[in-house]
Amino acid sequence: MKLRHAAVVLALVLSVTGCTPTSSQEVGVSASQSPNPISTQQEAALSSDVISQADYQAGFEAYRACMADKGYELIDAGLDGILYDYSIPAAAMDSGISDECYEFNWQQVDARWQDQNIDDSETAKIVSACLEKNGVEPAASYEENVALLTQYGIDPGTC
């Protein structure tokens, strides 16, 4: 077998097996960014520059009602500080019903609300603690601290 032919065979095998450094990995659930339809209530809330607490809570109630309509109750749902905390029955998550209800009624409002309040989030606390654990003085904001993680080469997986 000539070397050129061997290289072609190897390239084909790499292609078939997906062995390129940039190939996507099917681990967990991957991104979904198709423009799925959203409720008029969520659309109205998103038309404003800032999400109000009323919009956030109304979106959650719509999500909860959608879940109930499909036969699932959120577990231990309630406000914990500024965020709703709750658990989702695995059957609702695995069937896709939870994501369907979430995306239609609340996801983007929830995401913006969490972003508006990111400095008070669990994420901000974990990142800050992670910096301290690695001997780096945390800054005041989440955004600065994420930049510090990158700057010092700290793997978030070790946080």
Partner 1 sequence: MEVDSGDEAALVDERLELYSGSSQIARRSVEQRGKMKKSKLATALLVAVAALGSATITAVPANAVGSGSWNCAIYNTYNGKSTTSGSNFTAGGSQCGSAQISVGYTVSGGSAQYTAYRTAKDLVTVGNPGYPVFQGRHKMSNPAPAYNYPNNT
Q: 3-class SS at 77? A: strand
Cβ–Cβ < 8 Å for 110, 99: no
According to CB under 8 A, which one of 126, 132, 141, 152 is a site residue for partner 1?
126
Q: What is the pattern of x (binds partner 1, CB under 8 A) and - over residues 66-85? A: ---------x-------xxx
10 is an interface residue for partner 1 by CB under 8 A: yes
125-143 b/e (C-beta count within 10 Å ≥ 16 → b): eebbebbeeeebebeeebe
105 is an interface residue for partner 1 by CB under 8 A: no
Distance CA 82, CA 53 (A): 9
DSSP single-letter state for residue 13: H
Q: Give the interface segment with partner 1, choosing from 28-36, 65-73, 131-139 (CB under 8 A).
A: 28-36
- Report the nearest approach of partner 1 to the CB of residue 89 (Å): 6
Q: Give the interface segment with partner 1, choosing from 33-41, 64-72, 132-140 (CB under 8 A).
A: 33-41
